[in-house]
């Protein structure tokens, strides 16, 4: 019997600077031993300082990319990133539901690291009603969780309430990333029953471009390799910490993480078990 090659699909926008979006996702998939395919939803003119322009890919081309890859190569797990409008979100949700993808990680990309808006306001409702009910895992940071939950977040109690509200929208697991708050870098995972804090090292670096994309892509890669959700989240955080710790400065703004970092021993062990 031929060896199964784990495969992951990313449905997201292109970052011409190479640090986020499709580029970060494919680098992450490769680093974690997963064959990556891509569905381009938008093209951005972007560097470490700014997003200068965004051009959306027509819906029919997005649909064709999903169908063409799915019918031949398939995917063990899929992640979504930048989906800029209601129509694209609805069409992506329709095609993923039709293909019956085993795992779906939704990274609700709304704002770039430089502060530029990446999601049209009229798309938020579609994200909540069409895509999140299909999600295995959704990975908002604090600003994104505030939008999805419709509330301000200032402390741990707020994070828990926001996670509950987002879980009510349909995803199996909600991860509210705590990196935007002061203190330790603690992400909170909620499965509808209990909360699991996942603590990590807060790394002092400006090289944080693409951290959200990299984290969600790593979760997707680990799911594609057969790790259960909680372990996939834990290993993704360990990989991201290493990528941050070993990053180098590129450009004048927020440089990207190092996707080709040496993998931590526990990540290597997890990959060896789930070949």
* Residues known to be catalytic: 177, 208, 210-213
Contact present, 101 and 75 (Cβ < 8 Å): yes
Structure tokens at 4: 């199964």
Cβ contact 148:161 at 8 Å: no
Q: Which backbone phi and psi does 206 adopt, to 5 degrees?
A: -90, -5
3-state SS, residue 196: strand
CA distance 173 to 115: 27
The one-character DSSP state at 140 is: -
How, if at all, do strands 137-138 and 104-106 pair?
parallel
Structure tokens at 53: 């322009």
Residue 157: Cβ-neighbour burial (10 angstroms; 0-12, 13-18, 19+): exposed
Sorted by sequence, the CB contacts under 8 Å of residue 136 that are 6+ apart come out as: 103, 104, 105, 171, 172, 173, 223, 229
Three-class DSSP category at 255:
coil
- Three-class SS state of 89: helix
Nearest residue to 263 via CA among 241, 248, 230: 241
């Amino acid at each position: 019997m031929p060896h199964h090659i784990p495969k992951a699909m990313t449905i997201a926008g292109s970052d011409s600077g190479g640090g986020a979006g499709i580029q970060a996702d494919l680098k992450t998939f490769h680093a974690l031993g997963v064959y990556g395919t891509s569905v381009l939803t938008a093209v951005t003119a972007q560097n470490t300082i700014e997003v200068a322009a965004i051009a959306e890919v027509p819906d029919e081309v997005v649909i064709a990319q999903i169908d063409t890859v799915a019918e031949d190569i398939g995917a063990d797990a899929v992640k979504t990133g930048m989906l800029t409008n209601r129509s694209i979100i609805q069409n992506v949700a329709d095609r993923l539901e039709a293909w019956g993808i085993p795992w779906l990680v939704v990274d609700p990309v709304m704002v770039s690291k430089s502060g530029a808006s990446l999601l049209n306001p009229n798309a938020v409702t579609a994200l909540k009603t069409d895509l999140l009910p299909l999600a295995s895992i959704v990975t908002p940071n604090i600003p994104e969780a505030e939008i999805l939950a419709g509330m301000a977040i200032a402390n741990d109690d707020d994070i828990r309430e926001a996670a509950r509200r987002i879980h009510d929208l349909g995803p199996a697991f909600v991860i509210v990333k705590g990196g935007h708050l002061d203190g330790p870098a603690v992400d909170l995972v909620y499965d509808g029953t209990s909360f699991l804090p996942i603590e990590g090292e807060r790394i002092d670096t400006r090289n944080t471009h693409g951290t959200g994309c990299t984290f969600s892509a790593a979760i997707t890669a680990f799911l594609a390799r057969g790790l259960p959700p909680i372990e996939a989240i834990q290993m993704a955080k360990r990989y991201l910490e290493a990528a941050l710790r070993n990053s180098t400065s590129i450009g004048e703004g927020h440089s990207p993480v190092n996707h080709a970092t040496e993998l931590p021993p526990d990540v290597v062990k997890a990959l060896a078990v789930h070949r």
